Copies of this chain bind each other. A is one copy, B any other.
Amino acid sequence: MPVATSTARPGGRSARVRAAVHRAVQEFLAGNPAETMTLPLIAGRAGVHPTTLYRKWGTVADLMADVASSRFSGDIVVPDTGSLREDLRRWARDVATDLADPDVLAVMRAAIGSGPQGGCACTADRHAQLTAILDRERARGGTAPETAHAADVLLGPLYYRAIFAGQPADPSWTEELVDALLK
């Protein structure tokens, strides 16, 4: 481990603190009710002084919004098969797989519980991915539904079932959602 190098870059330490704190939040939520989480408890798990957390995030709600936007960003590669239907089917199946992970659901529920901004942070990236898939179809010369409508038809049922109905999504059901969107 190049300790000398990393102490010479303050950004390196800051990034490590953030990673340790995010990991501490996810580990905490995997084993404890969200409402028992406090900044000092997370600081203790992450091996960081509590004042660092108060200075950097201020409140549990701000920390959860940061964890959610980081956790739900950039970890799904947008498929590019040349077919809109196949791209959407693969993408919807990946979203469903992610939503079937109890640890993912715990972070998402805690983010929603901590305030309005937390909820949005969970899905901002999904909207961007969906827009990218639909835009690519138009660039190919095809037609594609508007993002808002596609989000209603695809993300609506996926997130509703995961959060409200407590039902795991099966892959053939996600294909039906895509087929309903594209007729």
Q: How far is it, in angstroms, between the C-alpha of A120 and the C-alpha of B109 when the chains are bound?
A: 12
Interface SS of A by simple majority: helix
Q: Does A115 contact B (CB under 8 A)?
A: yes
Among A8-16, A89-97, A131-139, A152-160, the one that faces the other chain is A152-160
* Residues in chain B near residue A34, CB distance under 8 A: 35, 113-115
Q: Report Cα–Cα, A158/B161, bound state, in Å.
A: 12
Query: How many copies of this chain sit in the oligomeric assembly?
Result: 2
Size range of the interface on A?
35 or more
User: How distant is A35 from chain B, measured CB to nearest CB, in Å?
Assistant: 5
Q: Which residues of B contact A143 (CB under 8 A)?
A: none
Q: Which of B35, B110, B159 meets A164, CB within 8 Å? A: B159
* A1 close to B (CB within 8 Å): no
Which one, B112, B157, B165, contacts A112 given CB within 8 A?
Answer: B112
Are B163 and A157 in contact, with the CB atoms below 8 A?
no
Q: Is A67 an interface residue (CB 8 A)?
A: no
Closest chain B residue to A163 by CB distance?
Answer: B119
User: A105 an interface residue at 8 Å Cβ cutoff?
Assistant: yes
Task: Report the bound CA distance from A159 to B162 in whole Å.
Answer: 12
With A60-B35, A114-B34, A157-B152 as given contacts, are A164 and B120 in contact (CB-CB < 8 Å)? Answer: yes
Interface, chain A (partner B; CB < 8 A):
33-35, 37, 59-61, 105, 109-110, 112-116, 118-120, 122-123, 151-153, 155-161, 163-166, 177
Sampled A-B contacts (18; CB under 8 Å): A33-B115, A34-B113, A35-B60, A35-B61, A35-B113, A105-B116, A109-B116, A110-B113, A112-B163, A116-B166, A119-B163, A119-B165, A120-B165, A120-B166, A152-B156, A156-B158, A159-B163, A160-B160
4 A-B pairs with the lowest CB-CB distances in the bound complex, closest first? A113-B113, A156-B156, A156-B157, A152-B157
